[in-house]
Amino acid sequence: MVHAVSDVDDVRHLHDIARSMRDPEQFPHVKGWSAEQVGVYRELVFNNIESLLSNCFPLFKASISEKIWSNVIEQFIAYHKSKTPYYFQLATELQDFLNHEASISLPRCAQSLVDLECQLILCAHFQNTKLFRSSNVTTEVLINNEIYLNETAWSLGYDYPIDSLFNTFPINGLPPHQKNEFIETVNSMPLKPCFILVYRNQHHEVRQLKLNTLSYYFFTLLSDYSGSAEAVTPRHIICQLAQTLNLSLEKVMTSGAELLQQWQRECIVSVCNPHQRSCLLHGMD
């Protein structure tokens, strides 16, 4: 027996421990624990959460100094009441905290970076509800038939050109000597729309494709119509786009056809109806 006590309020004590783990500066004491013991537990809690979030946000972490990153984790632990028992959802908890509770000065594009990294995690872990069956058909067939989208493909739009970071820096292993250059690039990022298609391929690899404004709207419309009661072909959508944006139908049709072929190769779109057993379309290769 460690301590002879008779009237310990256990529930209050558990809250005291949790409070001290969250904010050891404001709540440094836990009844019956030495300062060293509080320190050991606090370090374990901090390191565990820091390590989990580091793995989720290599890009966001690299975009700020070590000191600010530590501050983000400290505030997250102190103020955010995480509800999820699932570790892979911790990324979403941090995003929620940064969007609604944090009072930390971050780069202007931080929200975009955090969102993109959350989307990459969601895409990797998304549990399919529909079967996706790839197709290999001619452009003519693609354009003129109803299109089905891979559930694990979605388009994202941001205010900053964060896609450029992936081309310039080795995001998953930024060498220390590039850290300052990376932070500078992130901080000087101009306000300019950026569109990205995030998808998971047949080998479960998460990939990204840069989209321009036209391809973003094209994909968004395809996505809106995919699986809807109204059977709409890409040709119909392309005509609609050209008319709305007042562009040459011929040019939009050419670009749209090229995109569809690329997306078919990447298993992002298919002419095969996931609800039918075979994919017997005229023109199927």
Please say which residue, 21 or 260, places its beta carbon nearer to another protein.
21
Q: How far is the CB of 274 from another protein (least distance, A)?
A: 15
Among 48, 2, 3, 52, residue whose Cα is nearest residue 21: 48
Residues of this chain, 133-162, that bind another protein according to CB under 8 A? 152
The encoded tokens of residue 127 equal 């549990």
Residues of this chain, 18-47, that bind another protein according to CB under 8 A? 18-19, 21-22, 30-34, 37-38, 40-41, 44-45
Q: How far is the CB of 2 from another protein (least distance, A)?
A: 4
Using CB under 8 A, which of 128, 168, 180, 254 touches another protein?
Answer: 128
Integer Cα distance of 73 and 90 in angstroms? 12
Please say which residue, 47 or 244, places its beta carbon nearer to another protein.
47
Please say which residue, 90 or 189, places its beta carbon nearer to another protein.
90
For the four alpha carbons of 125, 131, 133 and 139, in that order, the dihedral sign comes to: negative
Q: How far is the CB of 4 from another protein (least distance, A)?
A: 7
Q: How far is the CB of 230 from another protein (least distance, A)?
A: 28
Please say which residue, 126 or 164, places its beta carbon nearer to another protein.
126
The encoded tokens of residue 206 equal 């998460």
Residues of this chain, 45-104, that bind another protein according to CB under 8 A? 45, 48-49, 52, 77, 80-88, 90
* 75, 109, 212 from 131: Cα distances, Å: 42, 36, 28
Measured at the CA of 228, the angle between CA 227 and CA 229, to 5 degrees, comes to 120
| 97 half-sphere exposure, CB direction, 13 A CA radius | 22
The encoded tokens of residue 183 equal 């932070």
Integer Cα distance of 64 and 106 in angstroms? 7
Are 140 and 282 in contact by the 8 Å Cβ rule? The answer is no
Which residues contact another protein by CB under 8 A?
1-6, 8, 10-11, 13-15, 17-19, 21-22, 30-34, 37-38, 40-41, 44-45, 48-49, 52, 77, 80-88, 90, 124-128, 152, 200, 204
